[in-house]
Structure 1
């Protein structure tokens, strides 16, 4: 069974169509990069399938079920820029928010919940910052905390909206190591990604998006100069990597 089935999904902001007839399937245990130019609808796609943004038409199922039946199996990491980092809370409390589905919104976290949250912070290398106010963390540290909040949910499917944007090289390596480990555990991960030069190294599947799906499939098959040019247009200079994969620089 596919983890995600999207059929003819369309969405708009006011009168501007952002997604048009988007269809794709995601198999379990895959790490998929969603790539496309600015304004291609990458973030909107994630928000729409998760019903955080209304859609005009189409159908989406997860594990063969509607979203409301499987919400607890799905984790989501939004763009860091969409979060109010001045909110007065510390890193541990942010991670605990990922457990509220189990704890209950009107109940206090128990010792076992705090232990789970600390284990998630340990996975992302942030245990020493557990009591640090989130406004005092660097961009990379904030991103790690949000990743820990998703990990503590122990979901089967993860959506991550540009988790590598604006982070340092060490954080980028750490995040990708965690995502690849999730894949090894049989989890399914979709990542909005902006750096074409790292796509072939980071993802085993790629979904090229520019308001509609341009191409989707295993990276070694669909990550080609032709598909990149169809998606981005304009003048593109391609650099051959290992003879199989193609990296690209947009001029």
Structure 2
């Protein structure tokens, strides 16, 4: 089966602090992968380094067998909600249509079909009635759904999401996970930085366990076990409770 993503000996740092150390893994199509690890493990940096948003010290990244820059139209990205300027004066529909600029063209006006695609994506997220609402007036969960709609409207083959479930309500969490499973069932590939170890087994069929380097990677049923959790998190797991019993 052809690899959707290949990362080989990836190294990255912030200033003089090495954040990613010789990271290597491969991802197959039609998988839903959780990226887990302690704070400071390099999870967000990994996504940014793959997407050319953070410089690499060394290493090779290929998506669909090509450099990211050559296939970026096939890739969707949802950043952490806290990294977005939600006071920017725009409404939910305009945010979603930003995901179509690769098809519209940056200097062209969107057409009716583009507006209809964006509205359909908002409807899918349960936000059809919020199209004209300023994003600053939306709740945190609604803002997260808007950004997921923006990624969906790209109709990508590979999606990266950075903690999409952080701080959202139960209803939004269900909408997001239902959407991600629908993508997986369509043969799309999804990688999600995830913080809640209690739901890894329920939500994801694959897991990448990261602490600056890859500790373990594979099917959740085979990989997400006590030994690998302890190797990834060390002594920071007192709050895991029964999961380590």
Q: Pairwise mapping of residues 45-60 of structure 1 onto structure 2 (< 5 A)?
A: 45-60=46-61
Tell me, in whole angstroms, the C-alpha distance in 2 between the residues paired with 1:165 and 1:209.
18
Q: Distance in 2 between matches of 1:166 and 1:58?
A: 33
Size of the alignment, in residue pairs? 243
- Residues 160-214 of structure 1 deviation map (CA, whole Å, 9 limit, x = unaligned): 0000001001100110000001000000000000000000000000000000000
Q: C-alpha displacement at 1:235, in angstroms?
A: 5.6
CA distance in structure 1 between the aligned counterparts of 2:43 and 2:112, rounded to whole angstroms? 38
Aligned to 2:7: 6
Give the CA deviation at 1:50. Answer: 0.5
Instruction: Give the TM-score normalised by the residue count of structure 2.
Output: 0.97
- 1:195-210 → structure 2 map (5 Å cutoff): 195-210=196-211
Distance 1:141 1:59, change over 3 A: same
- The answer for the alignment partner of 1:151 in structure 2 is 152
CA distance in 1, matches of 2:244, 2:144: 26
Structure 2 counterpart of 1:142: 143
Residue 15 to residue 125, structure 1, CA distance change in 2 (3 Å) = same
Aligned to 1:177: 178
| Pair 1:62-2:66 in alignment | no
Q: State the distance in 2 between where 1:218 and 1:35 align.
A: 14
Residues 223 and 142 of structure 1, relative CA distance in 2, 3 Å threshold: same
Aligned equivalent of 1:23: 24
Instruction: Return the TM-score normalized by structure 1.
Output: 0.95
Cα distance 1:42–1:248, how it changes in 2: closer, same or farther (>3 A)?
farther
Equivalences for 1:53-92 in 2 at 5 Å? 53-92=54-93
Gap regions ≥5 residues in structure 1: 241-246
Measure the CA separation in 1 of the matches of 2:92 and 2:69.
Answer: 28
Q: Distance in 1 between matches of 2:244 and 2:37?
A: 12
* SS across alignment from 2:174: helix
Q: Which runs of 4+ in 1 moved over 2 A?
A: 235-240
For structure 2, the 5+ residue unaligned runs are none
